[in-house]
Structure 1
């Protein structure tokens, strides 16, 4: 005759892991320990917090956000239809015209040059609800100019009304 032994669960693990107050046992009563960030050097944490602050500030400024989105679209890293709700028909038609050419695509052997990025973004507000902006786009030694107009609609959303991109200029080929 053989006897079977039962193994039981360890007593330290709770049977239920739900955390809402609707469960039969009431709300979770076990205290949570504070989570600490992994230790990093102070300079690294400062650089990370500064970069996060720059990203948050850029997200609050509509012309900077739109310049970043245009760079992604005109470099071929994002499809044109990603900006469909952010552009008026005339500007969207211009985007559809420019996107296949990918004028901001990285150059170099096998398209492995540096990714384009917005170096500077300036703004002029001719009247309330209208922003005319420019951006300097750099990719290695190459600099491009991008100009666009944003208009605020009745729904308080900014949409691109016009768009133009300038010729490519090499930093080293300019005469000083």
Structure 2
């Protein structure tokens, strides 16, 4: 019971009021890549790597043969892989073989060594030659991206 001199005050009025202060994150010390960079994607959130590997393999060999413009695969490759593919396309263009030969992917094998990572190999028929293509796919921002490429 309260005496005549005491009065009741609700708890929310007695609590100290919140005063907005500076954020606890120091944006000056973070790079743009840390703030806005690509984010890894789990395998469950990516398309089937077997189907996708076949499509990107066909696109890559068509670019390298000079039958397709190199910028078409820019979004799906790292800058290093794109540089290799574009350089091979330029060589094909100088040789003038881009429109005369048909390059076809005949088979693709895929294994997934880690979550969000797929390694693929493809058998490619390039004119009259049979060649091999090996590449590593990494899931970033909800899509697969070619991170490494080896042409044999």
The TM-score normalised by the length of structure 1 is: 0.52
Q: Closer, same or farther in 2 for the Cα pair 1:100/1:158, shift >3 Å? A: same
What residue number does 1:81 align with? 71
Q: Is the 8 A contact 2:49 2:110 kept in 1?
A: no
> What is the rounded CA distance, in whole Å, between the counterparts of 2:143 and 2:52 in structure 1?
9
What residue number does 1:160 align with? 146
What residue number does 2:129 align with? 142
Choose 1 or 2 for highest CA Rg. Answer: 2
The answer to which structure, 1 or 2, has the higher relative contact order (CA under 8 A, 6+ apart) is: 2
What residue number does 1:69 align with? 59
Q: Is the 8 A contact 1:106 1:116 kept in 2?
A: no
> What is the rounded CA distance, in whole Å, between the counterparts of 1:121 and 1:60 in structure 2?
7
Q: Which of the residues 95, 108, 112 maps onto 1:125?
A: 112
Number of aligned pairs?
104
Q: Is the 8 A contact 2:107 2:124 kept in 1?
A: yes
The TM-score normalised by the length of structure 2 is: 0.59
For structure 2, which runs of at least 5 residues remain unmatched after alignment?
Answer: 1-47
Q: How far is the alpha carbon of 1:60 from its aligned partner?
A: 7.4
Output the aligned Cα RMSD: 2.8
Runs of 4+ aligned structure 1 residues displaced above 2 Å come to: none
Matched, 1:96 2:86: yes
Q: How far is the alpha carbon of 1:102 from its aligned partner?
A: 2.8
Give the strand-richer structure, 1 or 2: 2
